[in-house]
Amino acid sequence: MYPNFLIQQYSIDAEVDFGQGIKTQMKTGTQQGCKTSPHLFDAVVHSYLKDKGLFTEFADCQINAIHDDMIFRAPIRRAIPLFRRLVQLFAEIGLSVNEDKTQVLFRGNIARIEEVEGLEGIKEITSNITGDGMVFGGIPFGNDRFISDYVISKVVEYEDLSNRMLANSTGRNVGSIFSIVRFCLSAKWPYLMRSISSHIWDTEYQGSTLGKYIDSVTLNTILRHMDITQYRQELSDSELDSLHIRMGLKLKNGGLGIHSVTDYCDSAMLGMWATNAQDILSLLGPLSDTEKDSLQHSRSITHISDTARTMKTRFAEDNAFTPAQAMDIGLRSGKLSTMELLTMLTKHAATDNDDNRKLKGGKHQGKLRSALNLYIANRYADSIVRPDAGVAARKCNPYLRAFIAQRSLTANRWLNRIHRDKRARLLTDADVKIAFWITAGINLIVVDRKCSRCKMDPVNWFEHGQVCKKSRKRRQDDNQVKYFARSWALHKSIQILMNECLAKIPDVNVTEQNPKFLDTFLANPENPPPPSKDSDNSDDQNHVDEEMEPRIHRGRVVADGTLMEDKRLKSDIKIITTFEEQPVPILIDITVATTHAVSHHPHTIKGTNGDIYASKLADYGAHLKDKKHAHYLHDGNAIGFAFDSMGGISKPAKDLIDHLYARGEQEKRRRWDSETMRVALKKEFLDRLSMVLCIHRVYDFKFLGIPNMRAQGAQLAHPPHRTLRH
Ligand SMILES: [Zn+2]
């Protein structure tokens, strides 16, 4: 049956669909692209070999396979018989061994290999006999030089791929390049990082090290079309260093979420070893005391324990993590804490005792990487302003405020949509570049000078766009120029987005826009709402006039001027959820606090629980809303849906999103089409929220007149007069 099955699978002509009408025919092979294909292949081949008694016949040999790649270790006399038997068995199921790819690793004098008893005639099988090492399943093993040569060949390939991609792209593909580098190109390294120790990545290469060289290729690929010289002079060395660090940080740690080799090769290798140590050791069979001793003092094992020791020392530093962070990553808590894991590895890489059994199969790699990511993000924040520099120095640094706010669930998620078309990501190609540089914490104008709009002098441009009171203006019907705050337009954008996204959730109905609180909730007799004439929207005082005139978005009136006629407090959106016992009305009150506004500075450098690496500004915004909502008996159903302008999200907003997109258990049965759909909708909403906050950060700069020209290192707000050549 198996031969027929395989032959049949291999003879199906499959159609591969790339979407958008691009299809191609695949003539042979199992159906690729289907996750089960390789497993099906493995299962069939394995059962066949087992049925034919291969594993009992050659019980003294180790046979391993990764799909169509096979390797075996055998006693000298058994090697050739095993090879011939395999060739024969494969032939029976229509598979043949590729002679060009057949290789022998022999630890002895290769020139005289055929003189060894049992290996006579081995050169007829293959002339490819080496003592250095070989590659199995894409992973090299052998001596250091062999491994570093293999990595170098991969680096050359990587660089070539990057160059070809850049040659075939323009500034218009800048978003796609980012995503290809993030999800495809750089994503090939973790596979090698797991099995290659850091001394290989530290090998000197092209005036740098292999690891650093790879990371530079990755970063330069992204930066090429972002072209900073459109705006200002080249990045300084310290800016480049900072970009390298941010590149490797996760989105939720304020980073760009791209794989970097230098910082994370150690956590990958340690994690892989911890998970698989027992299996690897058991392959060696029972060891004598002398063998065990020489294993434990071998270079690989010593390297693992040394690496673990270094990491443990760093994690144990006084301010490595805040107490809340330490809880989150299970530094000293949980079934197997991160510190315990590292301690086990420091003892001869957990080869000694029962430790390797306890570690077997755990998700150690992810755990170590998360901890390391957090550690590096904390050190990066410290490098912007030292933690002991004092509150004044910390709160006055716009880069620190921005980075801390970006260490949140939503801030950098817009990068997930960077490759989409203009409509889906809201940003034009030019906008993407500005958005990228702001997100990466790079100032587009490096010279502080007077703002020609509001005359403030001097200003730091990185923060000024958000706070300039004169950069946004509009000419009214009566030809008068009016200035308006960023928050009003942003507020409306979020409202539009929510209407669209919440409407897709089953059991949630968006029922009203700008509903009055008193129409839904009773006034709180113990804390009654202030008389209506005073309650005119006091939190919106900056743009109270804006509400007078209708606001048009994409040809539709999204806000009319009714607010001033009725001064009772209103929220933005009313929804009714129907997955509780009774329908529940919820009023959503949107607010975005400006990270760089001076009055907000104190809230930006310390989180709600005192954590110096988190911002409480969004929570503060929610708190102000809560105070206002306390005038009504809303039973927790009036929500301050608060953000900060760098994209930080408040706890009430996050909780509401989690509640609306919950899976739903028995009594709160939800009507999601599928789990996949639920997860996708939630992700879409969060990504688009982040995107809306992002586009307004881009507007900050565009309203200031950026980008407009190059000017010897600093961007000018107005282009100089040009002399026309005749
Ligand atoms: Zn200004």
CA of 600 to the centre of ligand 1 (A): 18
CA of 486 to the centre of ligand 1 (A): 13
CA of 464 to the centre of ligand 1 (A): 6
- Type of residue numbered 161: L
CA of 726 to the centre of ligand 1 (A): 37
CA of 487 to the centre of ligand 1 (A): 16
CA of 441 to the centre of ligand 1 (A): 20
Q: What pLDDT is recorded for position 260?
A: 94
pLDDT at 244 over 50: yes
CA of 470 to the centre of ligand 1 (A): 6
pLDDT at 710 over 50: no
Q: How many CA atoms lie within 13 A of 638 on its CB side?
A: 27
Three-class HEC string of 58-101: CCCCEEEEECCEEEEECCHHHHHHHHHHHHHHHHHCCCCCCHHH
CA of 655 to the centre of ligand 1 (A): 36
**Which band of pLDDT confidence, cut at 50, 70 and 90, is reported for residue 121?**
confident
Average pLDDT over residues 518-535: 79
CA of 465 to the centre of ligand 1 (A): 7
Answer whether 583's CB lies under 8 Å from 507's CB: no
Q: Which residue has the tokens 């301690």?
A: 343
CA of 594 to the centre of ligand 1 (A): 15
**Which band of pLDDT confidence, cut at 50, 70 and 90, is reported for residue 496?**
very high
Q: What pLDDT is recorded for position 725?
A: 45
CA of 462 to the centre of ligand 1 (A): 12
Answer whether 190's CB lies under 8 Å from 260's CB: no
Rounded to 10°, the helix 364-384/338-346 angle is 110
Q: What pLDDT is recorded for position 19?
A: 60
Structure confidence by residue, pLDDT tens digits, 388-435? 998 999 999 999 999 999 999 999 999 999 999 988 999 999 899 999
CA of 460 to the centre of ligand 1 (A): 10
Q: Which of 192, 368, 181, 395 is nearest to 267 (CA)?
A: 368
CA of 709 to the centre of ligand 1 (A): 19
What SS3 state is found at 316? coil
Q: What pLDDT is recorded for position 75?
A: 86
CA of 623 to the centre of ligand 1 (A): 29
CA of 226 to the centre of ligand 1 (A): 26
Q: Which residue has the tokens 């408040």?
A: 650
pLDDT at 54 over 60: yes
Highest mean pLDDT among 470-484, 548-562, 625-639: 625-639
What's the burial of 283, exposed, middle or buried (CB within 10 Å: 0-12/13-18/19+)?
exposed
**What value, to the nearest 5°, has the Cα angle with vertex 405 and ends 254 and 371?**
45
pLDDT at 650 over 80: yes
CA of 467 to the centre of ligand 1 (A): 7
Burial 660-683 (b: 16+ CB within 10 A, else e): bbeeeeeeeebebeeeeebeebbe
CA of 440 to the centre of ligand 1 (A): 22
pLDDT at 621 over 90: yes
pLDDT at 703 over 70: yes
Rounded to 10°, the helix 261-283/237-248 angle is 40
Its pTM stands at 0.84
Answer whether 693's CB lies under 8 Å from 593's CB: no
CA of 602 to the centre of ligand 1 (A): 22
Average pLDDT over residues 620-631: 93
Query: Alpha-carbon dihedral of residues 220, 224, 230, 236, nearest 10 degrees?
Result: 10
**Which band of pLDDT confidence, cut at 50, 70 and 90, is reported for residue 243?**
very high
Average pLDDT over residues 455-481: 85
Average pLDDT value over all residues in the chain: 85
Q: Which of 439, 400, 409, 381 is nearest to 697 (CA)?
A: 439
Q: What pLDDT is recorded for position 542?
A: 42
Name which residue leads in pLDDT, 259 or 473.
259
CA of 469 to the centre of ligand 1 (A): 6
CA of 453 to the centre of ligand 1 (A): 5
CA of 598 to the centre of ligand 1 (A): 14
Highest mean pLDDT among 34-38, 556-560, 607-611: 607-611
CA of 468 to the centre of ligand 1 (A): 4
Among 69-83, 299-313, 553-567, name the one with the lowest average pLDDT: 553-567
CA of 592 to the centre of ligand 1 (A): 20
pLDDT at 102 over 70: yes
Residue 720 DSSP one-character state: P
pLDDT at 354 over 90: no
Average pLDDT over residues 657-684: 89
Q: What pLDDT is recorded for position 567?
A: 55
Q: Name the CA radius of gyration of the chain, rounded.
A: 31
CA of 693 to the centre of ligand 1 (A): 20
pLDDT at 548 over 80: no
CA of 449 to the centre of ligand 1 (A): 10
Average pLDDT over residues 129-151: 89
Q: What pLDDT is recorded for position 93?
A: 86
CA of 439 to the centre of ligand 1 (A): 21
Among 266-270, 457-461, 567-571, name the one with the lowest average pLDDT: 567-571
CA distances from 720 to 23, 464, 698, 712, 716 (A): 52, 22, 23, 12, 8
Q: What pLDDT is recorded for position 44?
A: 86
Q: What pLDDT is recorded for position 693?
A: 96
| Residue 686, both tokens | 């969060």
CA of 243 to the centre of ligand 1 (A): 28
Name which residue leads in pLDDT, 200 or 73.
200
CA of 388 to the centre of ligand 1 (A): 31
CA of 538 to the centre of ligand 1 (A): 24
Q: Is the dihedral of CA 683, 687, 690, 696 positive or negative?
A: negative
CA of 359 to the centre of ligand 1 (A): 58
**Which band of pLDDT confidence, cut at 50, 70 and 90, is reported for residue 707?**
low
**Which band of pLDDT confidence, cut at 50, 70 and 90, is reported for residue 100?**
confident
**Which band of pLDDT confidence, cut at 50, 70 and 90, is reported for residue 29?**
low
pLDDT at 264 over 90: yes
Name which residue leads in pLDDT, 661 or 710.
661
Q: What pLDDT is recorded for position 607?
A: 85
CA of 466 to the centre of ligand 1 (A): 9
CA of 606 to the centre of ligand 1 (A): 27
CA of 392 to the centre of ligand 1 (A): 23
Structure confidence by residue, pLDDT tens digits, 358-397? 898 889 999 999 999 999 999 999 999 998 998 999 999 9
Q: What pLDDT is recorded for position 125?
A: 83
CA of 456 to the centre of ligand 1 (A): 6
Structure confidence by residue, pLDDT tens digits, 323-347? 999 999 999 998 899 999 999 999 9
What SS3 state is found at 129? strand
Average pLDDT over residues 708-726: 44
Average pLDDT over residues 23-28: 61
Structure confidence by residue, pLDDT tens digits, 142-199? 888 999 999 999 999 999 999 999 999 998 999 999 999 999 999 999 999 998 988 9
- Type of residue numbered 413: R
**Which band of pLDDT confidence, cut at 50, 70 and 90, is reported for residue 562?**
very low
Give the span between the Cα atoms of 514 and 499, in whole angstroms: 12
Q: Which of 651, 448, 474 is nearest to 546 (CA)?
A: 474
Q: Which of 555, 498, 504, 493 is nearest to 692 (CA)?
A: 493
Q: Which of 623, 644, 603 is nearest to 391 (CA)?
A: 603
